[in-house]
Amino acid sequence: MRGRWRVIEAVRKSDRFGFLFSLPYVIFFLAFVAYPLIFSFVLIFHRWNIVTPMEWIGLKNFERLFHDPLFGKAITNTLTFLLIHIPLQIIIALLLALLLNSKVKMRGLFRAIYFLPVVVSGVAVTILWQQLYSYDYGVLNALLKAIGLPSVPWLVDASWAMPSVAIMATWKNVGIYIVLFLVGLQNIPAELYEAASLDGASRFRQFRHITIPMLNPTVIVVVVLSTIGGFSLFIEPYVLTGGGPMQSTLSGMLYIYNQAFYFGHMGYAATLGFVFALIILAVVLIQRRVIETEPT
């Protein structure tokens, strides 16, 4: 009785506009977050093509997933992507941010240009790069030829295709990270450098022992956002290569899409989505741990 009375009292004291203003979100949450989340737990135990009735198959989806070579391929492709994309992104973003942070004219203009690909649709960027990467007529191979280097089979060779996607994604996204590093650099107190100079620390030592540690939170953001982006890769391989050649650019999201919409395997597609989500959460958690505890 007392418990119920307390709840009633709390409701009575509540601002009714609090409920009213929150209500639309609560309805939205139930329909488009809670329901799909619960439904995904149902789907992973079923075989279903949406048209015929659902069929309970227990853990068969997971059994299949662990023996599915294409699932493994999607994981290793994503890791290949991240292994190239993340270091490239950090190095380029940090270099350009450091240059922009020094005394430089037209900083705003440079920053705006570096940021341009970020706002443009991924589809447009992919169409553009498809042309740049073209083996016979592409601008990149023409440039390589001009300086006397052999042509690169960017999209036609299975071992080059994923690195090519990673380079393109870096070009598209690095602008965000330049801006984030720039903010990070500007937040480092100038007194730290002054004190270090007085103690006779060289520029390099200042960079190593002040700049790098102070940028650690930014690096975490860059690594985490890039990782989530890597696991969400879809339109780039979909338009650029269709996942080929020889499945070398098949991404997790592309595989989920194919299972759902080419084969109508809704249960299996949901299982793949479920497992990929768990992998993303695990990888991001581990990354945070590792970077946060890194000795400086």
Partner 1 sequence: MKITLKYLVLVLGAAVFAYPFLWMIAGSLKPELEISNLGLLSENYTLHSYEQVVTKVPIGRAFLNSIIVSLATTASVVFFGSMVGYALAKLRFLGSKALYLLILFTMMIPFQITLIPQYILIVKLGWTDTYPALIAPTMMSAFGIVLFRQFFVSVPNALIDAARIDGCSEWGILFKLIWPLSRPVVITVGLLTFMSSWNEVLWPLMVVRERTLMTMPQIVTIFTIGGEAETQLGSLLAAATLLSLPVIIAYAFFQRYFIESMASTGLKG
Rounded to a whole number of angstroms, the minimum distance from the CB of residue 290 to partner 1 is 19
Rounded to a whole number of angstroms, the minimum distance from the CB of residue 271 to partner 1 is 9
Cα(123)–Cα(119) distance, integer angstroms: 12
CA atoms within 13 A on the CB side of 115: 15
Long-range contacts for 157-163 (Cβ within 8 Å, ≥24 apart)? 157/245, 158/245, 158/246, 158/248, 159/248, 161/241, 161/244, 161/245, 161/248, 161/249, 162/77, 162/80, 162/81, 162/84, 162/248, 162/249, 163/80, 163/84
Rounded to a whole number of angstroms, the minimum distance from the CB of residue 296 to partner 1 is 20
Whose Cβ is closer to partner 1: residue 59's or residue 116's? 116
Whose Cβ is closer to partner 1: residue 248's or residue 265's? 265
Rounded to a whole number of angstroms, the minimum distance from the CB of residue 76 to partner 1 is 18
Whose Cβ is closer to partner 1: residue 7's or residue 286's? 7
Whose Cβ is closer to partner 1: residue 66's or residue 137's? 137
Report the 3 state secondary structure along 239-292.
HHCCCCCCCCCCCHHHHHHHHHHCCCCHHHHHHHHHHHHHHHHHHHHHHHHHHH
Rounded to a whole number of angstroms, the minimum distance from the CB of residue 279 to partner 1 is 9
Whose Cβ is closer to partner 1: residue 95's or residue 158's? 95
Whose Cβ is closer to partner 1: residue 226's or residue 248's? 226
Rounded to a whole number of angstroms, the minimum distance from the CB of residue 154 to partner 1 is 14
The torsion defined by the Cα of 275, 277, 281 and 287, in degrees rounded to 10, comes to 90
Cα(264)–Cα(47) distance, integer angstroms: 10
